[in-house]
Structure formats: structure tokens, C-alpha cells
A and B are shown apart, each in its own frame.
Chain A
Amino acid sequence: MTETRDEIGEQAGAGVCKKFMFVNRKAPYGTIYALEGLEVVLISAAFDQDVSLAFLDDGVYQLVKGQQTKALEVKNFSPTYRALEGYDVEKLYVERESLEARGIREDQLLVPVQVVGAEEMAQLMDEQDVIIGF
């Protein structure tokens, strides 16, 4: 049951565009949240919603370059974050405090992001219509 982007777009019907933010708080592997969360991001973009992503806590590890998953025998899905631009998903916010607490620098991330402080992140969340956390 594979739906193409066009078919999904037609189902959307009403043409309402809301601000959706997906809040990623968990490491990319170990649980399925990051992977299945990304699926929802792609569908939301196909529905022509105003999509943004927030990365907090261990969620910042989802964007770290050079992920090696062979030994885990799970798929390295991190290239999908690079494909988001093609879906017009370009608002990726990473919380500064979460990066600092884990010793990760912005240049170690695999896509361009906006690094924001916790307070600014709270403001961004306040502006959303729909917030879905994984």
C-alpha cells in the first residue's frame, strides 16, 4: 500500500496549512521513535503543511555525521535528513544546551540547522498549531 506524493496531496483536500513541529528527543538507534517519526515528517510535508523539526536531549544524536550501524544490523537512515530539503522541510532547530551537554559541535551535524537556546525553542513551540513528539 504505497502512496505517491501526488495521491497523498489529493487526499489533503481542504488546502489548510498548519504549522507542524516534530520534536525529536531520542537517540536514532536503540528505539524506533526516530525512524518512525521521520516517516510522519515526510508525509506531513507531502500534505503541504508548514513543517519544522526540533532536536532536543539525545535527539541531537540523530543529526550527527558519520553514523555507522552495520554492527547493529539496522539501517542507517541518517541520509534521509539530507533529503528533507527536497520536501521543502528546511526549518531544523537544534537546542544549544543539548548539543553542549553532549560535547557536539554544529560542524559535526550532517545538515544545515539553526542552533537555538532553550528559551527561543520554547517561543518557536509556542507559535505552532500542532506539536508531535517522538
Chain B
Amino acid sequence: MKFGLLINEGPYNHQAADTAYQFARAALAKGHQIQRVFFYNDGVNNASKLTEPPQDDRHIVNRWSKLAQDSGVDLVVCVAAGLRRGLVEDNLAPGFRISGLGQLVESGVEADRLVVFGD
């Protein structure tokens, strides 16, 4: 099955980003496709390369970057939500790209299921 993912919550502040990541890994391991992961609301903070968690904690941003590198998953950050929160091209971690909300709608149209991870 082809999945689209929408993440609406920031890393560390909320479980949504962790659950979405684990969902993506599990789906890929089962042979499904991840058509796109779209980051919206505070979810855009998942893409900040300035993120530096304590060493004994998981690195949520690097984990996404590695997912993109390993599996070629398309990680898209909403431009408007990003600008509002100071998340711009300059501080984007590897594997992420910035685009418009149309990419989320496209995900809803193209994927068999759009799964929302939010509060």
C-alpha cells in the first residue's frame, strides 16, 4: 500500500513525531511505500538542523534525514508554517525540502491512505 503521512506536532514536545517515524519504518519493512511525509503546524520543527538533543536521547531530526537517505522518502516542510516559525532553507536538515500546502493535498490524492499524526 502507498501511504502519505502528515505530522502536525513538534519533536520532543509530542509523541506524534516519534510514532510517525516508527510507522514509516514499520511500513517500509513490510514492503509498503511511503509516498511522502508532510510537516505542518509545529511539525515543521522536525526539519531543523539546529536541533541538538542531549546525547543520551534519540535524535529525531537526524533520524528523519537517515530515513530519507536509506529509503528515498520525500520529506516536505510547509513553506508558510515554516516561515511563521523561523524554519527556512538555511536551517533545513539534509533530506528535507520546503514546498507548499499543495504537496499535502497531492499526497491525499495520490496515496492510498493519508495518515495524520497530531494531537
A residues with a Cβ closer than 8 A to B are 1, 3, 8, 11-12, 14, 16, 18, 20, 32-33, 36, 39-40, 43-44, 47, 49, 129-134
Closest A residue to B107 using CB positions: A130
Identify whether the interface residues of B are mostly helix, strand, loop, or mixed.
Answer: helix
Could you list 15 A-B pairs, sorted by A, with CB under 8 Å? Answer: A1-B100, A3-B102, A11-B106, A14-B109, A14-B110, A16-B109, A32-B41, A33-B119, A40-B105, A43-B101, A43-B105, A44-B105, A47-B106, A130-B108, A132-B108
Contacts of A49 on B, CB cut-off 8 Å? 105, 108-109
- Check B80 against A39 for contact (C-beta < 8 Å): yes
Additional A-B contacts beyond A14-B110, A43-B104, A47-B109 (8; CB < 8 A): A18-B109, A32-B41, A36-B81, A40-B105, A49-B105, A49-B108, A131-B116, A132-B116
Closest B residue to A36 using CB positions: B41
Q: How far is B105's CA from A130's CA once the two chains are assembled, in angstroms?
A: 10
Q: Is there a chain A Cβ closer than 8 Å to B76's Cβ?
A: no
B residues with a Cβ closer than 8 A to A are 6, 8, 40-41, 79-81, 100-102, 104-106, 108-110, 114, 116, 118-119
| Shortest Cβ-Cβ A-B pairs, 7 listed | A130-B108, A43-B101, A47-B105, A44-B105, A16-B109, A130-B114, A11-B102
Q: How far is B80's CA from A1's CA once the two chains are assembled, in angstroms?
A: 8
- Check A8 against B102 for contact (C-beta < 8 Å): yes
Contacts of B8 on A, CB cut-off 8 Å? 33, 134
- Check B102 against A18 for contact (C-beta < 8 Å): no
Within 8 Å by CB of A132, from B6, B81, B106, B110, lies B6
Within 8 Å by CB of A20, from B6, B101, B108, B119, lies B108
Closest A residue to B8 using CB positions: A134
- Check A40 against B104 for contact (C-beta < 8 Å): yes
Contacts of A43 on B, CB cut-off 8 Å? 100-102, 104-105
- Check A133 against B105 for contact (C-beta < 8 Å): no
Most buried by B among A32, A49, A130, A133: A130
Closest A residue to B99 using CB positions: A1
Closest A residue to B40 using CB positions: A36
Q: How far is B100's CA from A51's CA once the two chains are assembled, in angstroms?
A: 19
- Check A3 against B100 for contact (C-beta < 8 Å): yes
Within 8 Å by CB of A133, from B80, B101, B109, B118, lies B118
